[in-house]
Structure 1
Amino acid sequence: MNEELTLTILGGVDKDGVPEPVSSLDICKGEIIGIVGPTGSGKSTLIDDIEQLAQGDTPTGRSVLINGERPDAVIRVDPRKKLVAQLSQKMHFLADMTVRDFLQMHARSRGKGPELVDRVIELANTLTGEPISADNYLTVLSGGQSRSLMTADIAVISDSPVVLIDEIENAGIKKQEALQLLSGEGKIVVVVTHDPVLALMASRRIVIRNGGMVDIITTSTGEQDVCGRIAKVDNWLMSLRETIRKGEVVEELA
């Protein structure tokens, strides 16, 4: 299923019970989709519907299809067959085990070998400014390290073909690289964001207003150019943050 997976969202109603203008949306493997709208507009409700593989049984009345068909009930409730992984802006581990032990355990549970552990850690370290070691205990990882590790874990070890991300711009990781990593592994990436770089990195973005999907905007060539220019500024700001965090002097701005 994962090789040719297509996710379809069938529209429901907005907060006033009015049918959504967007009645259907197909999302394909490797695609990044943005969800944009004002605070409180219903962006997180949409990803909740996707996470639950809603079948008209949520307040919005939306339905989610897999390859054009309604998913089996077991897919919705069995964590071993879960198609959707979610990465939130707030994430901390509670398990008192090392990074290596955690990744080896996850790989075994997926029927995969321990050789993936080093690759996950290597990728995670491309997303965070704070190096992660295999011998680090999960409970001492910072929020940024935790999210970097889970992003790499989802990309490499997890079988879930759909990844939902809620405001990763506040997650303390290299956000552009994170999205590129996940989509490059063939994941469908749906990201809730207020960040112009992430919104314009998406091939399309869903506009949410009053709880409803009111428009689908396809990212134009002009917007892609804008994205490239503001991404350079964003990367510069990230580099500046790291310089200040390390206690160094930013003389070039004086």
Structure 2
Amino acid sequence: MIESVTIMGGHGRSGRPEAVQQIDLKMGNVVSIVGPTGSGKTTLINDIELLANANTPTGRRILINGCVPPSEYRYDPAKNPIALITQHTNFLSDLPVRKFLETHARIRDKRDQSTDGLIERVISFANQLTGEPINLESRMTELSGGQTRALLIADATIICDTPIVLLDEVENAGIHRTRALQLLREHKKIFLFVTHDPRIVLLSDFRIVMREGSITDVLHTDQEEQKLSEGVSKLDDSLCLLREKLRWGQRLIANDLEVFA
């Protein structure tokens, strides 16, 4: 049973050791990874996904429960404890959504659970994250970017049931971020978000700061930031309402701006 993940620091592009040499992640943590474009955020989650053992360009090591992970975690998809969801996910399979989920449940050896029940839970979860509900009979290639990301997040959380979920800039896909975080926190896993979104960052337990390919700091969300997150969420909700009006072909009026006051 996985209880913790430890990131052991390596070095940045300059070759100098990273300023932070150990980060401990516990089950239930929601963590953001922040930094400018090109700072090494995606490289960090790739190191985690690969369960790096000083064998990647960064020299980082990833420990599970304080130990080097067993090789089966890397080579047996059914035992891999990590799910990675990126902003560029595309499906080559033209399977209906229902068949895709049924197949994945079988691969993940969920014979002890009702497949129909699993699928119902996945779709219920996913449809709380996306504006347009997902139809089980739709083809995977027909899903929008937001529906795709919502489905994969739900699938990783419920069918994969992996204890570690990595999400790379999913805010760009149009999912409901606050609702996603609320639902994810109900599942005691480790969630790491690569993000530029202040709403996600301020709702995280802490954030890993990247620069020039190196981990430079770890900042825990303090009480002042928690208070600030309420205002940021209200502002973001207001912007979401404007976007929804535009999506549904409605005109914006001057009074719409009053929500920002």
The reply on whether 1:159 has 2:161 as its aligned counterpart is yes
2:143 corresponds to:
141
Give the deviation of 1:150 after TM superposition: 0.8
Q: CA deviation at 1:181?
A: 2.1
- 2-side partners of 1:253 and 1:218: how far apart? 35
The letter for the 2-side match of 1:146 is T
1:117 positional shift: 0.6
- Out of 169, 172, 190, the residue aligned to residue 171 of structure 2 is 169
- Asked if 1:103 corresponds to 2:101, the answer is yes
What is the CA-CA distance between 1:189 and the residue it aligns to? 0.5
User: Which residue of structure 2 aligns with residue 94 of structure 1?
Assistant: 92
Query: Structure 2 unaligned runs (5+)?
Result: none
CA deviations on 1:145-172 (whole Å, 9 max, x unpaired) are 1111111111111131111111122112
SS at match of 1:72: coil
SS at match of 1:157: helix
Cα distance per residue 1:64-101 (max 9 Å; x no partner): 00001110122122212111101111222221111111
Does residue 1:83 correspond to 2:86, yes or no?
no
The 5-angstrom pairing of residues 102-251 of structure 1 reads 102-112=100-110, 113-114=114-115, 115-251=117-253
Match of 2:45 among 44, 47, 52: 47
Matching of residues 11-50 of structure 1 within 5 Å: 11-50=9-48
Deviation (angstroms), 1:15: 0.8
Kindly provide the amino acid, as one letter, of the partner of residue 101 in structure 1: K
Give the TM-score normalised by the residue count of structure 2: 0.92
Alpha-carbon displacement from aligned partner over 1:200-252 (angstroms, at most 9, x marks no partner):
11111111111111111010011011112111111221122111111122333
1:206·1:217 contact (CA, 8 Å) conserved in 2?
yes
Amino acid at match of 2:88: K
The residue type equivalent to 1:96 in the other structure is D
Give the aligned CA root-mean-square deviation in angstroms: 1.3
Q: What whole-Å deviation, never above 9, does each CA across 1:90-146 have from its counterpart, x for those lacking one?
A: 222221111111111212222322111111111111101111111111111111111
User: Does the CA-based 8 Å contact 1:35-1:205 persist in structure 2?
Assistant: yes
Where do 4+ consecutive residues of structure 1 move more than 6 Å?
A: none
Corresponding residue to 1:68 among 66, 77, 80:
66
Q: Which amino acid aligns with 1:40?
A: G
Aligned residues of 1:92 and 1:142 also touching (Cα < 8 A):
no
Deviations 1:1-35 (A, max 9, x none): 14xx2000000111111111101010011111111
Q: Equivalent residue of 1:81, what SS?
A: coil
Question: What amino acid is the match of 2:190?
Answer: I
Taking the aligned partners of 1:185 and 1:153, their CA distance within structure 2 comes to: 13
